[in-house]
Amino acid sequence: GSTLVQWIWGGFSVDNATLTRFFTLHFLTPFIIAGFSLIHLLFLHETGSNNPTGLNSNSDKIPFHPYFSYKDLLGMNLLTMGLLTLTLFLPNLLTDPENFTPANPLITPTHIKPEWYFLFAYAILRSIPNKLGGVLALLASVAILFLMPTLHTSKQRSATFRPFTQTLLWSLIADLIILTWVGAQPVEDPFTMIGQAASILYFTLILLLIPMTATLENKLLSY
């Protein structure tokens, strides 16, 4: 309720305390992600990667240089050129007009929206009329990703030879794209109803359809 909102804000409105703590969060998060990436690489170095069949792939290995080193350099150069082109020639292409409005703690902007990579969670939050329910749904939409390893019921590590799972995977990606689009739109019909339907499908795919399909594919493999 209002007590929780004021605790997060650090006051009765969005002010310096709110901006400071959210800036700190945004500043520290990339370093936390970098730390987890290093841990991921460390464990990957210990066990090695796998192929779609889950078999040992040592016999298929080729030298890192020049094959992979040139490939990585090409990708890095293309990414750097695209990023420089965007920032130097089209700096306002991905911004929002609301960002140019002077800040005023006494006036709430008509349409607040987060960065594009959080729009799917924002759309799920808006799909529930109740404030507490919306916040819980938002937290669940992110926390559910930590359950993905537990929900993996297939005997195969990859989805390369699992056409049903591939169909559901691309359905999930399409659903995320729809949620991202809806999150950037105003809170009005038909966007509200589309967001509610896409939110239900998001949780249904991850919690029910994908694990059940993997179990079905396991049974088909046993025949």
Mean pLDDT of 44-66: 79
Q: What is the mean pLDDT of residues 77-103?
A: 89
- 189 has pLDDT over 90: no
Domain boundary among 82, 109, 136: 109
Higher pLDDT: 143 or 96? It is 143
Dihedral angle over CA of 153, 159, 164, 166, nearest 10? 120
Alpha carbon separation from 222 to 155, 215, 216 (Å, rounded) = 11, 11, 10
Mean of pLDDT values over 204-220: 94
Asked if residue 57 has pLDDT above 80, the reply is: no
Tens digit of pLDDT for each residue in 9-30?
Answer: 888 887 888 889 888 998 999 9
Residue 178, pLDDT above cutoff 90: yes
The confidence score (pLDDT) of residue 1 equals: 67
DSSP letters for 179-205: HHHHHTS-S-TTHHHHHHHHHHHHHHI
Are 157 and 48 in contact, with CB atoms under 8 Å apart?
no
Domain containing residue 194: 113-223
| 163 and 204 assigned to the same domain | yes
At 212, which CATH number? 1.10.287.980
Domain match, 142 and 75 both? no
The answer to the question of residue 24 being in a domain is: no
Distance between CA atoms of 164 and 80, rounded to whole angstroms?
37
Q: Which residue has the higher pLDDT, 66 or 48?
A: 66
- The residue whose two tokens read 């990436």 is 37
Is residue 155 a contact partner of residue 222, using CB atoms and an 8 Å limit?
no
Residue among 12, 49, 54, 20 at smallest CA distance from 161 = 54
In this structure, the answer to whether residues 147 and 223 fall within a common structural domain is: yes
Q: How far apart are CA 134 and CA 147, in angstroms?
A: 20
Task: Answer yes or no: do 135 and 210 share one domain.
Answer: yes
Instruction: Say how many domains are in the chain.
Output: 2
Name the percent of the chain lying above pLDDT 90: 55
Give the catalytic positions in this structure.
45, 49, 71-72, 115
Both structure tokens of 19: 């901006």
Neighbours of 161 (CB within 10 A): 12
Instruction: Tell me what the mean pLDDT of segment 77-104 comes to.
Output: 88
pLDDT tens for each residue of 111-157: 677 888 899 999 999 999 888 899 999 999 999 999 998 999 998 88
pLDDT of residue 125: 93
- The pLDDT of residue 105 is 76
pLDDT for 70 beyond 90: yes
Q: Does residue 57 form part of some domain? A: no
